Amino acid sequence: MNRQALINKVKSIIDEISAPDSVIIDVGVDDNNPIDTIITSLLDESAREILLKAPVYKLSPASSATQAVASSTDPKTGTIDLPADFLRLVELKMLEWQRPVTELNLQGSYTAKIQSNKYLRGGLSKPVAVLSHREGKKVIEYYSVNNSHSISRFLYIKEDVAENIPVQLQDALCWICASRVCAAIGETSKVEMAEKNAISLMM
């Protein structure tokens, strides 16, 4: 759907879950179509939620040609610069790893902390990847390799606008956006219903 079609779909959902005698109220936005303005401001934020939560098989992972850089202090570890549009990891596999990593550990977590111990950290059979920051940019720290710092596969979900959400997830997108609009205009009783519908349509 194009953006206007998405806006119309969200408005239709809000009308659907509203009482028959209620109307979408003017919340004081200085615009001829205040609800359209609110929906527009929330569509891409709602799209981000879809991309973060939807099952990977319903999305379209991107492939990155990013190169790995070996650590200057430990030849068996290294970092990978994240693409500017990176949102969520699907799969990372270094050439020597026996299996890929599909989740990133957060910097400061127990798993991340023990990677500094060469006896406890990830290896070829049970690799570990940590989302970290280096010199003001996001990177993946990988643990560990023997000789090769080549990337075999790096798939991820990228940030995108609402119009580019896959067709099979656009209904879920509109329900999420409707829940956020209801929250913004004070129709809190409708938020939970809209969220539940979004989740059921997403899975």
Which tens digits make up the pLDDT trace of 4-16? 999 999 999 999 8
Q: What would the mean pLDDT of 170-190 be, rounded to a whole number?
A: 93
Which tens digits make up the pLDDT trace of 119-175? 999 999 999 999 999 888 999 999 999 999 999 999 999 999 999 999 999 999 999
Check residue 25 and give its pLDDT. Answer: 47
Check residue 42 and give its pLDDT. Answer: 97
Could you tell me which of 117, 121, 137, 122 has the C-alpha nearest to residue 69? 137
Contacts from 107-113 at CB under 8 Å and sequence distance 24+? 107/131, 107/132, 107/133
Q: Is 140 in contact with 132 (CB distance < 8 Å)?
A: yes
Q: Is 158 in contact with 87 (CB distance < 8 Å)?
A: yes
Answer whether residue 26 shows pLDDT above 50: no
Confidence band for 20, pLDDT divided at 50, 70 and 90:
low
- Mean pLDDT is lowest, of 16-25, 98-107, 113-122, for 16-25
Beta strand residue intervals within the chain, DSSP E = 62-63, 68-70, 77-81, 86-94, 105-106, 128-134, 137-143, 151-158
